[in-house]
Amino acid sequence: MSTRRVTGLSKPSSSFAELFSRRRWAVTAICVLLIFFVGILDYVTGYEMDFFLFYFVPIAISAWFAGNRPAFFCVLLSVVTWLVADMMSSHMPSSWFIEWWNAGIQGLTFSLAAFSTILIRNAFDQKQTLNSRLSELLGRLEKESRERSQAQEALIRQNDFLRHIFESITTPFYVVDAKDYTIVMANSATIPGGPPPGTKCYTLTHHRSEPCHGSQHECPMQVVKQTRNPFATEHVHYAEDGSARHVEIYCYPVLDDVGEVSQIIEYTLDITRHKEMEHRLHNNAERIKLFAYSVSHDLKSPLIGINGLTNLLHKQYGEALGEKGAKYCDQILKASENALHLVEDINVFIKTKESPFAFEQVNPKELLKVIRDGFKPLLSTRGIEWTEPEFIPPLTADRLSLMRVFQNLVDNALKYGGEKMSAIAVGYEESSEYHTFNVTDNGIGIERKDCEKIFELFQRHSTSRNIDGAGLGLSIVKEIAAKHGGKVWAEPGRSGGATFHISIAKNLEPSSD
């Protein structure tokens, strides 16, 4: 859209009277001098020349440039000057009445001339004012036209930019009329060249003649219309060849002036490959779980046999084997026992990960008493002091799993605390969302860099050399914490020792029978 600058009209700032407002008295003085000059000429020439018409010149000048009052002053002065010049030139009429009558006629003529000049000047000033306003209006129109043109060009550029973004999206992206589900606009990824006019979304994605319905095929757009909120779900769409495609659908409402959903923006992500991989991973996990069960079961029997035979060999033929043979038997026994513990830990870990938990009301004090009694001989032998809170409120948890947590954390402290460890303290805290237990010892401690990795499978303390264990105890604790809606973490003590924390969610519901 082109614009044309208006240059043919000037913009006067004011009228002639306003332009000469500062010089009004100078103009008036000049007009007075002209009147006197004309009067002198009229007196000197007498009858030879009639200067009557020359009085109009200063009157017109004063009326045009000096304003109304100076103009009528010049009219009065011209009449007086003409009368005086006429009387002094010995041109006396037959009576004074005629003389004054002539003076009145002259004054009326001069007044009409001044009034006519003032009218013309006012008309000219109005024309100038109109021209000024018209010029200002045309300038404003030109500016608005230029701004409108720039806004239109910016809007065109913005639309082109949005269209490029719209087309650059590699997944189906389209806008649907909320009333009848007609596709209003769609990118090339939806359908090359765009869908035919009047295409319904359910026709395009499901090859149906009516909208989706039912719990199996709930229409996401219907949900958006009802809630007026964005909605995301998984759906099954069908390609042109009829093959099913798993997609994630994201819908966003477009509201009209009264707050009703008028259009719905929808885009889909094809997750068919992801679903296939997820299915394969699930199948592989099941096979691995069965394999682990099978291996642990198949290994357990020969390990028990090896342990039993070696123990029998050591008891019955220890003297014949000698000191070196007895040492070998001890190593075999120790290795077989470690292997049996590893198999047991693997079975516990798999059961913890795969088996459903039975949540019920549990009294932690009762569980801690069982754990304390079980470790009492070892605690007494090493002279380790045991402390725990006097009161811990009941909570909802899986009884056996919580027992396993306490057992593994205390066993971990006894294994890796060192010979100088003298105290184990069980603590309890609660917040609005979690029950939190902690087990603290004053042993060797743990390095901060190991506080996270020790909860991974088969990870052990950096100080765990020559200490029996498979590195699964804390991994089991971590899995139990996760299935209780909480987490587990460790912290090194300020002056040695370590503290292990486990949180359990308060919102767990008891399992139904």
**Based on the domain organization, do 304 and 188 belong to the same domain?**
no
pLDDT at position 17 is: 53
Structure tokens at 163: 């269209």
Structure tokens at 446: 């743990």
Q: Cβ(238)–Cβ(207) under 8 Å?
A: yes
Burial classification of residue 144, based on how many CB atoms lie within 10 Å of its CB (0-12 exposed, 13-18 middle, 19 or more buried): exposed
Among candidate residues 355, 371, 395, the one where a domain is terminated: 355
**Based on the domain organization, do 324 and 399 belong to the same domain?**
no
Q: Which of 393, 379, 403 is nearest to 429 (CA)?
A: 393
Q: Give the domain extent around 441.
A: 358-505
- How far is Cα of residue 506 from the mean position of the Cα atoms in its chain? 33
**Based on the domain organization, do 229 and 209 belong to the same domain?**
yes
pLDDT at position 3 is: 41
H or E element in which residue 490 lies: strand 488-492
Residues 6+ apart with CB under 8 A from 18: none
**Based on the domain organization, do 301 and 223 belong to the same domain?**
no
Residue 494: strand pairing partners:
496
Residue 74: helix, strand or coil by DSSP? helix
Among candidate residues 145, 162, 185, the one where a domain is terminated: 145
**Based on the domain organization, do 364 and 498 belong to the same domain?**
yes
Enter the DSSP assignment of 181.
Answer: -
How far apart are the C-alpha atoms of 225 and 260, rounded to whole Å? 8
What is the 3-state secondary structure of 230-273? CEEEEEEEECCCCCEEEEEEEEEEEECCCCCEEEEEEEEEECHH
**Based on the domain organization, do 225 and 245 belong to the same domain?**
yes
**Based on the domain organization, do 379 and 498 belong to the same domain?**
yes
**Based on the domain organization, do 242 and 298 belong to the same domain?**
no
Q: Cβ(386)–Cβ(372) under 8 Å?
A: yes
How far apart are the C-alpha atoms of 42 and 36, rounded to whole Å? 10
Structure tokens at 266: 């929808």
Among candidate residues 211, 239, 270, the one where a domain is terminated: 270
In total, how many domains does the chain have? 4
Sheet containing 183-186: order of strands: 183-186, 173-177, 261-270, 244-255, 231-238
pLDDT tens for the chain, 513 residues long, are 444 444 444 444 455 555 555 577 788 888 888 888 887 877 777 654 566 677 788 878 887 887 778 888 888 888 888 777 777 766 555 566 666 777 777 778 778 888 887 888 888 888 888 888 888 899 899 999 999 999 999 999 888 888 888 788 888 888 888 888 888 888 888 878 777 888 888 888 887 777 777 665 678 888 888 888 998 888 888 877 778 888 888 889 998 888 888 998 888 888 888 888 888 877 766 666 666 656 555 555 666 666 676 777 767 776 677 777 777 777 776 666 666 666 665 666 565 555 667 889 999 999 999 889 888 888 888 999 999 999 999 999 988 888 888 988 898 888 888 888 899 999 999 999 999 999 999 988 888 887 777 877 555 555 555 555 455 778 888 888 988 899 999 888 877 888 999 999 999 888 765
**Based on the domain organization, do 384 and 483 belong to the same domain?**
yes
Q: Cβ(388)–Cβ(375) under 8 Å?
A: no
H or E element in which residue 386 lies: strand 385-387
Pairing state of beta strands 183-186 and 385-387?
A: unpaired
Q: Which of 78, 26, 23, 25 is nearest to 56 (CA)?
A: 78
**Based on the domain organization, do 279 and 306 belong to the same domain?**
yes
Structure tokens at 416: 């890796």
168 assigned to some structural domain: no
